[in-house]
Structure formats: structure tokens, C-alpha cells
Chain A
Amino acid sequence: MMSETILQVTGLTMDFGGIRALDTLDFEVRAGEILALIGPNGAGKTTLFNCVTGIYTPSGGDILLYQPGVRARTRLNGLKPNHVAEKGVARTFQNIRLFSKMTVLENVMVGRHCRTKAFILGAVFRDRKTRAEEQAIVEQSYALLKEVGLAAQVNELAGNLSYGAQRRLEIARALATEPFLLLLDEPAAGMNPQETIRLVQLIGKIRDQGHAILLIEHDMKLVMTLSDRIVVMDYGRKIAEGAPEEVRSNKEVIRAYLGEEG
């Protein structure tokens, strides 16, 4: 049985001046799956992430989001990044973008921002509701940090963490926004083999909790073991799509990766 579509991208096009970074791209993400997005450098994978999360406004096409429990679909094109996050789409960044002068815990607490309400008056007077909310933020954030294995470093400054730990912290921060779709941009980049193994377990666990994951990754072993389906991009176009085994033997894919003769 095919599970329902939660993100549908149709004819997505993104132009930067004369350069077409994304060219009429079509694909969909289904509930509870891990979809990997692969392709050579400059294929437009991160551009796609930026379009989906509202950092870029696409030049053409549609990005439609089907939120669980909401009947109407949402068009994400041109929505501000913070509204996309409110709709339940969270992401990590290829070049780590943590709040490096804040502690590990505070980084995750910032992720709770869009699910909480306290404002100026609440902050100043600290009424009972605000205190309860604040307490909940701390507890939920700590729980998330335990999950990604950073419980021992809660009070460390984020900038002082090791590379692998920073990547995991980014995932925890993204999870704090309660997403149902998680976009991971090269989560294993720069990790050593042990760290990668732990990351694979973590991503598997996140999927099992019911989050759908859209993953950009260059580590083919990781992609092949984790993903349910793979979309292959080259020069802003989709050149192949399917289960890992299908994609592995696809002629187009081999050509894109290894050149004409391959």
C-alpha cells in the first residue's frame, strides 16, 4: 500500500539571473519515508531545500504541503521561512548554522520558539503560565538532547562542540520545532565512520517516530542503507527516481556520476 503524499513538488523552477538552478522538477515525499536526494555538486539539491523552506522564492512551479490532520493543502512558494517552520517543515544546514555563542540547550530551546507564546509581558512578569511554558521548554529540549546523545554537554557553548556533535545538535534543534517533515542537508559531511554509524541509527530512530525525512547526502553507503526511495538530480533536473537498487543500476545515474564513457 502506498502511503499518502505529504510534500508534492511540481514543475519547480529556480532561476538565478541567466542560470537555471532548478528545471521543472517533479517529485513527492510520502508520509514516514526517508527520501534521499543525490546528485553531483551543483545539481541544485540545496537550492531545492532553500525553495521548500522559504529562503528562496521559486521562479516557477508549485510546492504543496499536505499537513497531517489538515484537509486543505498549503502552497509553500514565497512563504516566509518562519511560516514554513510553523507548518511543520524543519531543516538543518549544509554549512552548520548553529547559534554558536549560545549553549547547546539554548540552541534547542530556540527551536521551541514557534510552538510557544510568551512575549514581553510574560517575560517581565513571569506569570504562572509563562513559568510553566518555560519549564516545559527546558524539559522538552533536554529530552531531545538526550535523544541525540548530547545530554552531557547541555551547558557547553554550541561553537565549542565537535563537528559531529554540532551536526547532531542541528538535528535536535530542528526536531524541537515539532516537524512532520525533516530536511537534512548533508548530515554526515565531515563525520568519521563511528559518528556516521551513530548518525544512521539516529536518523532511523527519527523515522520510526513518524517523521518523514528528505535527505541530501554524498555518502552513498549511508544513502543506500537508509533511504526508502532515491531521487537523482543533475543540472537542476530529475534524472532518475526509485528504490536504491533501481537507482544504483540506472544508466543515466552512472553517466552523471562517472561521465560519458561509464
Chain B
Amino acid sequence: MTILATEGLTKRFPRVTALDRLTVSAGSGVTGLVGANGAGKSTLIKILLGLLPPTEGSATVLGLDPATRSLDIRRAVGYMPEHDCLPPDMSATEFTVHMAQMSGLPRSAARERAADTLRHVGLYEERYRPIGGYSTGMRQRVKLAQALVHDPQVVFLDEPTNGLDPQGRDDMLALIRRIGTEFGISVVVTSHLLGELERVCDHVIVIDGGRLLRSSSIGEFTQATTSITVEVEEGTERLAELLTAAGRQVTLHGRLLTVEAGSPDTFDIVRDAVCDLDLSLVRLEQGRHRIEDVFREEASHV
């Protein structure tokens, strides 16, 4: 099922072109929308919600056109903005109930859904206290809860891991994965951190400067490559020199060495080189693409 599609979508502001003839589509599951700050991610979400009119081109969300059916779209879509959006003098429960009612749920259903949703995002007793006293992690959970409370078919999460500590980040990513699989709600999640999306997405769309760089499934991004990754405890440079002398193409990535494997005997050569230099081998594995590499490669081509 196609949850969103754009066709030559362009948005020009007086001084800047935020989206430039963007044509993408995304199916159900978790879709990552990757791009640097200012790449046009938030603008795209606003156009899809019908909050901004596009300059040119068209878009559909769940088969509906935001220009004419924005209310129907917003009834079926949840939105978690990037910025703070919570009133400090209300409790999370009260706020979530109110937001559910604003989506058209009757009051009793809104209360029940709010309690359910807050529990799912991991807010318990503290949900009765005013939001003003919450930590960043708790605020992000409330923001997520208000996007889910009306049981949408799709949620747009704009930078949900912003400002979270590593533990909070892991929890949030696990939650996003659960929303996409267990809850059966399609997710469009933006981030500028590629490593994060690698862990939760089925499909990744990379945009840069308002243009599409690449759109493909996560498997294609992270497929096996012909290189070998080697990590030794110390003496990385000496090993690199020896392998280069043996006619192999070697690149250094911090503590890691990437060796182009022209033939199967490259593994043997690496092993012998490590033995000759008397180094402690930590890791020797088939290299995998990371989204970062793709992003870097494609950005340099454009």
C-alpha cells in the first residue's frame, strides 16, 4: 500500500527553494526520511498535512490530495513536530485527552485512548503532573502520545530523537519500531542521523537540498560489499603499510581498516600480515555498506 507519493513537488519561498521537483513514494512500514538540516524534510511534512500549499507538483497521502482533502488526511494521520509543543501548565493526561478530542474522538473514548497511549509510550504515574516539570525524554514521549492517541493510519515523526540521551534514544527507536510492526501504524520518521534510521527503517529516502538523492529499501543500502573490515588492537598503520606493499587497496577509518578484496586469498594475506607483525586481531569481517557511505558517495556524485 502506498501511504504517500509526490510527483514533481516543488516549494519555493521568497528566498529559498525548499523542495525541488521531488518525486518519491513510500509504502507501509517504517520509512526514514534523511537529510541535513534545511534539506526540506519539515517542509515536505507540512505540505503533506495540507498546512503549506506546494508551488508546483502534486502529492497524495493515503491516496488523498492535501490541497483538497486536508481534513480527511489529518483525521487519519498523526504528527509529532520537531520543536517543543507542550503547554507547561497542563498534565500529560489532560493534554492528550484534549488532543484526542480535537481529532474527533468522543470524550469517554478520548480518556480511554489517552490512558492506553501514555502507557504504551512509557509514561505512568507522572502523567498526572504538569508537563512543565518533565524531562526532555518525558516530553518527547508526550509528543509521541498525542500523535498516536487518535489511532492514525500513518504518523509523521519529525526528529523524534532530538535532545535525548543515548538510553532515551534507544528507547525511542525501539518504540518507533514497535509502532511500525506491532501497532500496525505506518511511520514516516525524519532524522539527520543515518545510523539511527538504519536500526528502525524498512525503507529510506535520502533528500538533499530539496532533491531526491536516493530511495530504496534498507537492504539495498546495507548490502554486503567486496571489502573486508579489519580491526587490530594497535599497530594499525604498520598493518596498512604492509598490506599496501602487498598490492591491496587500503583505507583507514579511525581504528578500522577497510581492505578491498579483489580475490578470496585477501583473507589469508590479512591473516599472514597480522601474524608477521605480531598484532592482536580483534575483528576480521565482510564489510557492509552503511547508509552514511551511500549518502557520502551519492552526494559527491551530484
- The answer to whether A and B come from one shared complex is no
User: A residues engaging B (CB < 8 A)?
Assistant: none
User: B residues engaging A (CB < 8 A)?
Assistant: none
